[in-house]
Structures are given as C-alpha cells and as structure tokens.
Amino acid sequence: MLLLDTETLDQSERADAFQATVSGASSPNLARFEDPAAVHARLDLFDFGPGRVFNVRATGNTLLRTQKIARGATEQAIALALPVSGQNRLRWDREERLLGPRDMLLVDLASPYEYGWHGSGSSYAFQVGFDRLGLGMDTIRAAWLKLDATPLYPVVRDHILHVTTRAEQLSADPAASRLAAATIDMMRALIVSAAQDQHLLGDAMATSLVPRILAYARHHLTEDDLAPARIAAAHNISIRYLYKLFEKESTSLEQWIIEHRLEGARADLASPAGRRRSIESVARAWGFTDPSFFSRRFHRTYGTTPRQWQRGTPPQTNPGARLP
C-alpha cells in the first residue's frame, strides 16, 4: 500500500509529510534532510499478518530517534533491513555500521538510533513485533555486529530481499501470513546463530529448517540441477529426512519447485521482453529441461497454453496457482 509519494505534494509540504509518515508507519523520530527544499520520497507499507514490510526510497536524509523519544515508545518492533540502493549508515547501541546493497542490518526500532544515507537511497525492511519474535534483547544485541558471520546470513538476506522487493504481490497472496511466520522463524534462527546462544540454537534451527530450505530453493529456482539431493546436501540432512520434513508439512518439495518455476515463467512470458522469446528458452531459463512437460503443466495449472498466454489470449479456465 502506498503511504506517501511526495510528487503529489508541494515542495514545502514534503519534509513534514515524510517525517509524519515514517513516524506513523515505523517508529517516531526526527527527520533531517540534506536538502530540505528538494525532498523526494516514496513510502510503501505491506501487511503480512504477523509481520509487515516497510519500504522507503528517498533523497538524502537521517532519521534520529533520541533517548527522549525512545522512552515514550508504546510499541516495540525488530527489523531486518536492506539498503537496496546507496550506502546506509546506522548508529545503534554505541556502535556504527556502513552498509551497501549486499548487506543487511538488524535493529531494534524502539531503541535510540540514527539511520540514513547521502544522495538518493533506499531501505527495504521486514518488521516484526518484539513479543512475536520471542527473543531477549540481550540476544538481539549480541547478534547485531555478528550477523554476517553465520552461514545463515546469505540465505536469510536473499529471502528478505525477495519478500521486500515483491511485497505487493506476496502480501496479496492467501498464504501471506504463512510466509510471514516462516520469515520470522528464519529471522529468529539467524539472530540466535549470530548471538551464539547455544541454549536457543537447537530449537531455532529446527523450527526454521523448512523455511530455510524453501528460501534456498527460491534463490536457486532457475537452476536446472536444483534437485532433492542437492538441497539435502546443502542443509546437511539426508534425502529421506528431507522428504519426511515435507510430509509433515503436507506438501511436496518437487511440486513446490514446479509451481514456483511455472509462476516465474508465466510472468516472463507476459513481459515485453518475454513476448519476443521462444517458449523453449523461457522454459529452460526457469529450470524446465523438457519443453513438452513444461507446456503440459502450464496448461494444467493456468488453463491456457504458454503460446496463448504469451500472445495475450484469454484462458479457457482460470484455476490459478497455489503458492505457499
């Protein structure tokens, strides 16, 4: 949901509108701008039930949450944020970090902090209530500077990037709350792993295993060698145990992969670039090595052939795709 697009406002109103919107959607703060007379910003908020995504794109600014503002906080949230563009600076708990587009930061939104960037930049964040995360603040603080030291970091980072950059589409899916719950499990496991909290680590890793497997599969979705043996090996489990995990979830890993590959191929075929490509090349780009199999499954799922979809011909039926 679009919260603010400053292009619809007079320049004199933009700075105040930006601060009011950020404070209302994320946490109260004081906003400072590199050029108060030339503020440009777009802010979006997407509800996922137990979590939410808050995306900000703006000209240079700094958000300052003072001790006084923090003492008056009535809501406490924890966020994993990505500087999708530009270089962001965060000062929190007497520590300071500079982060680029391949980094991810963890922050307690109820504590004093200073966060912003020079020039045009962005911050895409997945936020969850402190109580819902179920971890002590000592554990969260211990994880902050060591977040990228755990092997879970790139998996969780890629997952957060996927959820935040596709938040509009994903938040509208019937399974959005399940996706948020899985994301929170991964977030909890990452924090516990980075904090090296051995008491909590076993439970957190076990709870987040299926979400981590699905995040890994989503990240490697276009690779034709993405198979159960590879996935099991990447997570140090047996193929038998991998199948047993998904039996408990009442789903099939292979079908999950096929459904998500089909959705990716369907989006590509409907894009301007995809309309100029062959059906076979799009299928192969999404891991389908057998064009006939791809066409049959596409028709069964969407009620139309890949060629008809690419040409914009309405489907005979509209069964839709189920994407957990």
Distance CA 125, CA 127 (A): 6
Q: What is the mean pLDDT of the chain?
A: 85
Least confident of 83-87, 134-138, 220-224, 276-280: 134-138
Specify the length of the chain in residues: 324
Whether the pLDDT of residue 87 is over 90: the answer is: no
Amino acid at 231: I
HEC profile of 239-305: HHHHHHHHHHCCCCHHHHHHHHHHHHHHHHHHCCCHHHCCHHHHHHHCCCCCHHHHHHHHHHHHCCC
- pLDDT tens digits, one per residue of 111-164: 888 889 999 999 999 999 888 887 778 888 888 888 888 888 998 999 999 999
Q: Region 291-301: what's the mean pLDDT?
A: 92
- pLDDT tens digits, one per residue of 38-54: 999 999 999 999 899 99
Whether the pLDDT of residue 324 is over 50: the answer is: no
Closest CA to 182 of 244, 251, 229, 266: 251
Whether the pLDDT of residue 169 is over 60: the answer is: yes
- pLDDT tens digits, one per residue of 207-254: 667 887 888 888 888 888 898 899 988 888 888 888 888 888 778 888
Distance CA 56, CA 19 (A): 12
Distance CA 144, CA 90 (A): 11
Least confident of 27-31, 133-137, 263-267: 133-137
Whether the pLDDT of residue 100 is over 70: the answer is: yes
In whole angstroms, how large is the CA radius of gyration of the chain? 22
Q: Name 257's Cβ contacts closer than 8 Å, sequence gap at least 6.
A: 217, 221, 226, 287
- Read off the pLDDT band of 323 (50, 70, 90): very low
| E strand spans, the chain | 2-5, 30-33, 41-47, 51-58, 61-65, 77-82, 88-92, 95-99, 105-108, 113-117, 121-129
Q: What percentage of the chain reaches a pLDDT higher than 70?
A: 91
More confident call, 28 vs 222? 222
- Read off the pLDDT band of 17 (50, 70, 90): very high
Give Cα 58 to chain centroid, integer Å. Answer: 19
Domains in the chain: boundaries: 2-219
Whether the pLDDT of residue 7 is over 50: the answer is: yes
CATH for 2-219 is: 2.60.120.10
pTM of this prediction exceeds 0.85: no
